[in-house]
Amino acid sequence: MDYAATILSRFPGASRRDHGMRRLVETLKSYLPDDQVDQILRAYHFGASAHEGQTRKSGEPYITHPVAVAQELADMHLDAQAITAAILHDVVEDTSASLDDIEENFGHEVAQLVDAVSKLDQIQFRSRAEAQAESFRKMMLAMIEDIRVILVKLSDRLHNMQTLGAMPTAKKKRIARETLDIYAPIANRLGINSLKIRLEDLGFRHLYPLRYRVLEKTLKKSKGSQRQIVKRISEEFSRAMKEEGIAGEVTGREKHLYSIYRKMAEKRRPLSDIVDVYGFRIIVDDVNTCYQTLGLIHGLYKPMPGRFKDYIAIPRINGYQSLHTTLFGPKGLPLEVQIRTRQMDRVAEAGVASHWIYKADEKTDATPQRRAREWLSNLAEIQRSGTSEEFLESVKVDLFPDKIYVFTPKGDIMPLPKGATTVDFAYAVHTDIGDRCVAAKIDRVLVPLRTPLQNGQTVEIVTARGAKPNPNWLTFVRSAKARTAIRNHMKNLRSTESIDIGKRLLDKSLKDEGSSLRKIGKVRMASALEELGLNDADELYEQLGLGKRLAPLTARVLVGAGADDADDNVAGLVISGTEGMVISYAKCCHPIPGDVVMGYLTAGRGIVIHRNTCGNLRNFRKQPEKWIAVTWEKDIEREFTSQIQIETRNRTGVLAEVAATIADCGSNIEQVAVLGRHDDCSVLTFLLSVKDRSHLAQIMRNVRKMPNVLRVSRDCA
């Protein structure tokens, strides 16, 4: 009797329930000691008993699923704890067994792994999207702690995809879409190519069944003739290598269906163009031989210009290394060739899993393991702020490996998403560098911060003490790390500003009531906070600053007066223009220092400042409790936006003359628009940067004196 049968014989009925267990034991026996195989068999017995009577949609006993997941991990040579967790991964969710039971029987490490891959059914969510995002977030955070979590999850998803046929069509398509959007890219990001290919093809088959069948049928038809061409060219490569004394293997590469489909979709090329591309892989002993072989095959067939990629010198983001070249083959047929060492080939197929498969070779796992750790540390930083949906969106941006590679001034390679800008680069170096960047140089030339980067450029970031991220950066940054850091800064800044504004508003309102924040005292404040259902004073100030609560009414609560006991006087507020996002200036009337203004409290946006002559005021008159008296501080040192309307004669160069006059007055033109044009005159609007009302009046006087200007007025809705 063989080893598997001997062990299985200890568990009555095991062979009847799951024939796959025999194969699993044989695989485990090839690399694990007997005592660890025994532990996995005990887990099988525990899981099979717990799942007794449960079946899958296909009608098979439920235990066949965990065993299939464990087999996938065993093929990767994962350790006994991960295999045990794979067999038990659905026990807590689907049976009466608890995590405590698992910890008691199999240890804390296995219990942690099982918990990490369990779904979040016990949590109530507002929507399916939120539930999916939160589940994904938990999985990714568990992965940061232990990479084995994602390997169990990916293997779980693979077997679910292999047995998806019994599911309803709508559910099948949803799971397939999720696989293509999330799970296959994660496998790719971790360098597990074999898993990625199977997940992609299964996702494609279930999401687009008709397209899949058409492609599959066409490929089967063309395989016969393809096989002959591939065989002939492979022999030609092998013969040339032998003559040069190069030891190596040449194989024809099978193209998988989803990659063919994506090429057709992205390049908008017909199937015949894609199918007629032949792929070859050449495996040699060392790196020097890779480059020697490249020169040899370039001598056999001419290389296509611009189609050579050196991923040995500059590895891909997931640690993949190889030389890629495309040749003009016989009769002009494109030949795609990959040249790599045996070690690179193992890593290309197994990625981070090569840590377990080839752990005897210490150097093998260095690149993918290190790169995976770098990515996971970035994930840890991203997840500290924002909602689950924001986290999911950020990570999805980071998962798709359309990467460019740029250099730091010291020559270090920095991988970034395609389309990334200098700001993305700054945040990739360090969050503090991103927060304080004010300028950038590409190849020693100053460029705008929104400049997209290209492969091979050297990028240098200029920082300044006290500089802060600009909210407008969110419109052009591409990397998850940059987006998350900017959003986080904005949230913190908004909170700080709103607390400051709210405190000032409340103090003003209390003074109108004959009191002040100092006089109120801690005891009365604590009592009022309890009455209002708030945790602390900062939360109250923030709500006041954002307009979610009114300062006059809150002041009356604090002094003990009723809401109707006082008059309608609202506390005044002195503004300096430096309050940030909590105070904004209405774009309908463009208020500037010197104008008579009022503030309007809007929930969530804080205070919006309007000119008293603004035409929109009539819309807000019905809510007088939301208006607040506002005055300007003296000697404000910043610029504001204002708008003027100019009627000019239709003359060549008049726009340039007006612009020059405005510039001479020390103002910057932010925007120009032509409102109307008649035979004799044109109406133009200018959006200008001005210091105050006096500065604007000086600009208008100088423009009015121009010979081709008929009329100048200040715009107001």
So which residues are the catalytic ones?
93-94
Round to whole Å and give the CA distance between 147 and 82. 10
Round to whole Å and give the CA distance between 192 and 352. 7
Phi, psi of 465 (to 5 degrees): -65, 135
* DSSP output for 365-376: THHHHHHHHHHH
Which helix (H) or strand (E) covers residue 455, if one does? none
Per-residue CA distances from 469 to 43, 101, 438, 527 (Å): 52, 50, 9, 39
Tell me the CA end-to-end span of the chain in Å, nearest whole number.
92
Number of helices (H), then strands (E), belonging to the chain: the values are: 31, 19
Query: With left for phi above 0 and alpha for psi between -120 and 50, is residue 126 left, alpha or beta?
Result: alpha
Decide: residue 338, CB within 10 A, 0-12 exposed, 13-18 middle, 19+ buried. buried
Residues 6 or more apart whose CB falls under 8 angstroms from that of 681 comprise 647, 648, 649, 650, 710
* DSSP output for 627-648: EEEEEEPSS--S-EEEEEEEEE
Is 322 in contact with 344 (CB distance < 8 Å)?
A: yes
Round to whole Å and give the CA distance between 299 and 297. 5
Is 196 in contact with 256 (CB distance < 8 Å)?
A: no
Q: Is 59 helix (H, G, I), strand (E, B) or coil?
A: coil
Round to whole Å and give the CA distance between 49 and 264. 49
Is 632 in contact with 607 (CB distance < 8 Å)?
A: no
Round to whole Å and give the CA distance between 88 and 712. 79
Round to whole Å and give the CA distance between 131 and 136. 8
Q: Which of 249, 246, 229 is nearest to 299 (CA)?
A: 246
What is the number of other CB atoms lying within 10 angstroms of the CB of residue 342? Answer: 15
- Quickly list H helices, 513-606: 517-532, 537-545, 551-559
Round to whole Å and give the CA distance between 184 and 194. 10
Query: With left for phi above 0 and alpha for psi between -120 and 50, is residue 653 left, alpha or beta?
Result: left
Q: Is 564 helix (H, G, I), strand (E, B) or coil?
A: coil
Q: Which of 466, 566, 591 is nearest to 515 (CA)?
A: 566
Residues 6 or more apart whose CB falls under 8 angstroms from that of 308 comprise 323, 324, 325, 326
Is 341 in contact with 290 (CB distance < 8 Å)?
A: yes
Query: With left for phi above 0 and alpha for psi between -120 and 50, is residue 600 left, alpha or beta?
Result: beta
Q: Which two tokens stand for residue 474?
A: 């969110």
Is 599 in contact with 627 (CB distance < 8 Å)?
A: yes
Q: What is the CA radius of gyration of the chain?
A: 34
